Every structure is written in C-alpha cells, then in structure tokens.
A = this chain, B = another copy of it.
C-alpha cells in the first residue's frame, strides 16, 4: 500500500504534467497560426477571420512578448462570462453540461470540510493499526486517517454512519436545488426562443397503410378529422437512403478531384495520373482529373434521376411524417395524447429539432421497436459482463506463432529478439485497447438499433449504457480483481449479501489506487483536453497538404463537441467515488474537489472557444444525470453497509 509520500510523488508528477500541458497551451494559443485550433467556435460563428497584415512572420508567430507574461489570463476570461451570455453563445446544452462539474464542487466541497473536521480525528485516534498486537500489519499514514484504523465493533462507527447520512442528505438537497435551477433555465430558454418550427411540429410514426390513399393523403385526412381547428400542414419523410449514399460517394469523389486539381495547380508541368484498378494499384493509367470529372458527372446524373424516382414512387414514402399545427398549444396536445384506440399506430411525440433528427430510424414499426429493445438489452448484458471472452480469444490467436504461421515471410523480422519482445508486450494489450476505443461507437450503434429518432436521445441512451460498463468494469473491476464475467459468476454462486460484503471490505484498500486514477485521468487528462494535441496536429497536416481555399480551411477545423455519451458517465464515476469514499477514506475527497473545480474551468473555456455542438436539446439530459448521481448514492450506501457488516463485531470481519 502506498504511503502519503508515494502519493505526494505521484501527485507532483501529475501536477507537473498538468502544468506542462497548461503552459504549452498558454503559449500555443497565442500563436496566430494555431488560432483555428484553439478558437474554432469564433470562426464558425463568423466573428473571427484569418489574420491579415503586411508582416508575414506576424501571421504565424506572436512576437508581442507582453502577451506571454499574461499567458494564464484565459482562466479569468473563461470564468468571467456570465451564464445568460453563455447560453446565448454556446447553447443551453453546453451550459447545463458544465453545471454538472459545478454541482460536483457544490456537493463535495462541504462534504470534504465536514469529513476532515469530524471523521479524520475520529479515525486518527482509533489507533488499531498502531496497537501492539497489530505490529505485523503493513499500513500507511493514509490508512491511519481511514476507517481501517477503527477497531472491530467500536462505537466510533456511529460517527461514520451518522456522517454518511449527513453526506447523503446534503447531496439530495443539492440535487433537488440544482434540478429546480435547471428546470427553470430550460423553461426560460424554450419560452425565449424565436418561433422555431419544431415547437409547432409533432413527429407522427407508424402511420397505418390505407389501400385507397397514399400515406400523405391519409395523414392529411386523419389530422383534418381529428384536429380540425389546429392542423396546419405536414411533411412526409422519404426513404432517400440510396440518394444519400450517392451524394456521399459524390462528395468523396469531389474531394479527390479537388486534391488532384490542387496537385496539378502546384505543379502545372505534370498532369496527375492514377490507375483505375484495385485501390489504385492495378489497371490502366489515366488522367486523374479527367477520370474524376467523368465519374462525378455520371453520379450527378444518377443523383438527379434518383431524386425524380423518390418523389414519384409512392413506396419511397415511409410511414412517418412531421405534422405542423397552427399553435404551440395544439402541437403540445397532439404530442401528449393518444390518437386512436389502437395504441400501436399513429404514435405522436414532440418533433426533435431539425438538426437533431436521426432519419434512419423513423420507419421502424412498433413491434420491431420492442423486439429491438429487448435484443439490445440482452446484448448489453453480454457486452458488459462477457466482453473479455472474445478479446481473450483474439489475444490467444494474435501471438507470434500464429502470425508466423499465417504470414511466413515475416518470420525473419519477427524472430529478432527486440522486435519479438515488443510484439509480445504490445499485442495482448492491443486487442483490449482497440475494443475500449471502439466501445463508444459500439454502444452508439446499439442505441441506433433500438430505434431512437433523435441524436440527443441516442446520446442519452448510449450514456446510460456506458455508465453501466464503467460501473461494472472500471469501478467494480478495480475493487474486485478479476473480469466482470468472474464477478458475475461470483455474484450468482454466492449468497447475495456475501458479494456486498466482499466489495465493501475491499473498498478501503483501493483508496490509493483511485487517488492515482483521479490524478492521471482527472487532472492530467483534463489538462491534456485543453491542449487539443490531436486536432492541433491534424489541422496543421491538413493545412499543409490539402487546404487550398478559405472554405477548405474551414472544413479542416475540427472543433469537436462535448461527447455527452462518453464524458458524462466518466463524471459519474467521480461522483460515485466521492460518495463511496467520503465516510471511508476522506483523504480521497480533496482530489475529487480539485478535479471538479479544474474541469469546470477547462470545459467552460472549451465551450466558449472550441466546441461546436451538433444539436440543441435544451438540457433534456438532466434527469439522466440526476438519476445516475442518485444511483451512485444508493450504491455507496449499500457498499458501506457491506463494509460495516464485516467490521461489526470483534474479529468477525477481515481487513
């Protein structure tokens, strides 16, 4: 177990790397040629343009050394902007999102103070670990201020129980207050908006087929009969998947066309050529620009024809439509009420914002939807608990012998001992790493299969899936050694109380691990976020090799977004760690408070200057956030019960 000294070393390393990132950011952001990496939002909003001026050097490097002295002035700048202005500038979703960090500070700052005032002294004078009979135990100073220092069956545990209730009550109160604030913000936001079409529109799905009428006529008649005074118009949805794929193909080819055009313009002496065969390696050599021009022309014709086809073909109309009403009241009524006696047809819901619609899922029938949800629930279960099985399989295949068998010509290279050791050390981890990088995409695909009709809904759903994964595989997986599948077996084969006891009693021992985790992932990781190393490199690569016009440069910017589906479950892990360790090892709490405060500042800066959100749901994700914090609270209470059960009476439990 680590001593306070070890933690200090780790803390200073992480603090230094965080500071290094911040310093690098502070200098890089002042250089004009990085402007589009660190302030893309302003460019997208059209407020900032490319620097113009006579001095060529000044266009790339900042020579005004006075600005370097104030290189940390982005911090007050990020905090200075007021909330209403922030909502105007960055949207409500982003503003509400960074309030999650603020909530973390609000909850854990008083808890930390209280825990250090009450629980640390109680633990410190427990003196179990320093008792003469406990000489053989290895312990650190952190353990001396944790619950491990309290003797079995001591009355001092009452302090922990009472404080745990105080912490939970404070959290509930904060959550309640925050929910009120967010609801108020959302209502004001919706009421203050200009006349947006989606506020007058309802998404109608599962329109039944009618033998005598087209879908469009059927919808028109249905709403004229059922909402005669309020119905305004409707827009049917066409199945334009083929058209979309043609358009995507064309866009890609145009990109290639532009690329060769650029190449030719840079070096007009030689017209670029390509081979038409497999991946450009085989086949005849042809002129690249002419080749792409011909294909693009061909595709444009196809596109026009396909568009004709869709509009004239009644089967291309899918049984869904956006129905608009004359008043918000009528739209609200239609969205909230059941339209017919059969609850599986004419399903109405609020139309998502136009940018927020996920078009592919509009045509799924009611029965399919339920089957898909069931299937995905089962898949999620297996993904969460059994993901190690296929990865172990891949790992067992991807060893050196297998590679030598399949690709014998690599044998002489692989057999070199230096390369061999790299492969042996690297390959087994690779499969897992690839899986973890792919995981958010897999979860998003699963959510898409479940048939949600809006991107915001998909994000929310993926976040709840990812939360389960983080809870089982990161939190429980770190506390209990062994894979999630082994945990599941343990959970099934043991009495249900035994599992809680095992987890609960292991909790105090893992405190130092989680402190290190918070510093790496929460401190240095967040500082790395603001440096934006990957967009920085990508932008400069693109800028150097591809960008020709101002429009191209605009496209080369990668502002990124908040990525609710993956980042929110990670914040929830910190909430849970805080609640679990508050009564057990209060020493962990300051690290969490620092994380929340630091992340709040960083992300405030990011949403002001960098991120461009794809849609605006008006903070509709807050109930999910709220629910998951409560869930973490419940888990922490159960684990504390498990822990205290093993410490209840003399000699019964185990450390």
Contacts and interface: CB of A to CB of B under 8 A. Distances in A.
Contact of A492 (B183, B336, B497): B497
Contact of A336 (B338, B493, B497): B338
Contacts of A494: 495
Contacts of A336: 336-338
A332 B187 CA distance: 25
| Interface size bracket, A side | 10 to 19
A495 B497 contact: no
A341 B333 CA distance: 14
A367 to B, nearest CB: 11
A119 B53 CA distance: 92
Contacts of A333: 333, 337
Nearest to A332: B337
A496 interface: yes
Contact of A187 (B187, B338, B341): B341
A492 B493 contact: no
Interface string A478-509: 00000000000000111111000000000000
Interface string A78-96: 0000000000000000000
Nearest to A227: B329
Contacts of A338: 336
Interface string A312-342: 0000000000000000000011001110010
A624 to B, nearest CB: 17
Contacts of A495: 492-496
A12 to B, nearest CB: 47
Contact of A337 (B183, B337, B492, B497): B337
A381 to B, nearest CB: 16
- Give the interface SS of chain A, mostly helix, strand, loop or mixed: helix
Interface in A331-376: 332-333, 336-338, 341
Contact of A496 (B183, B341, B492): B492
Contacts of A183: 341
Interface in A29-57: none
A493 B337 CA distance: 48
Nearest to A184: B341
A503 B382 CA distance: 27
A494 B496 CA distance: 7
A177 to B, nearest CB: 15
A337 B332 CA distance: 8
A333 B230 CA distance: 13
A641 to B, nearest CB: 13
A550 B496 CA distance: 65
Nearest to A329: B226
A65 to B, nearest CB: 54
Nearest to A494: B495
A494 B333 CA distance: 52
Nearest to A333: B333
A455 B625 CA distance: 38
A198 to B, nearest CB: 18
Nearest to A334: B333
Contacts of A341: 183, 187
Contacts of A496: 492, 495-496
A187 B333 CA distance: 22
A492 B642 CA distance: 14
Contacts of A497: 492-493
Q: Pick the 10 closest A-B CB pairs, nearest first.
A: A336-B337, A493-B495, A333-B333, A187-B341, A494-B495, A492-B497, A336-B336, A495-B495, A333-B337, A492-B496
13 contacts: A183-B341, A332-B337, A333-B333, A336-B336, A336-B337, A336-B338, A337-B337, A492-B495, A492-B496, A492-B497, A493-B497, A494-B495, A496-B496
Given A333-B333, A336-B337, A492-B497, 14 more contacts: A183-B341, A187-B341, A332-B337, A333-B337, A336-B336, A336-B338, A492-B495, A492-B496, A493-B495, A493-B497, A494-B495, A495-B495, A495-B496, A496-B496
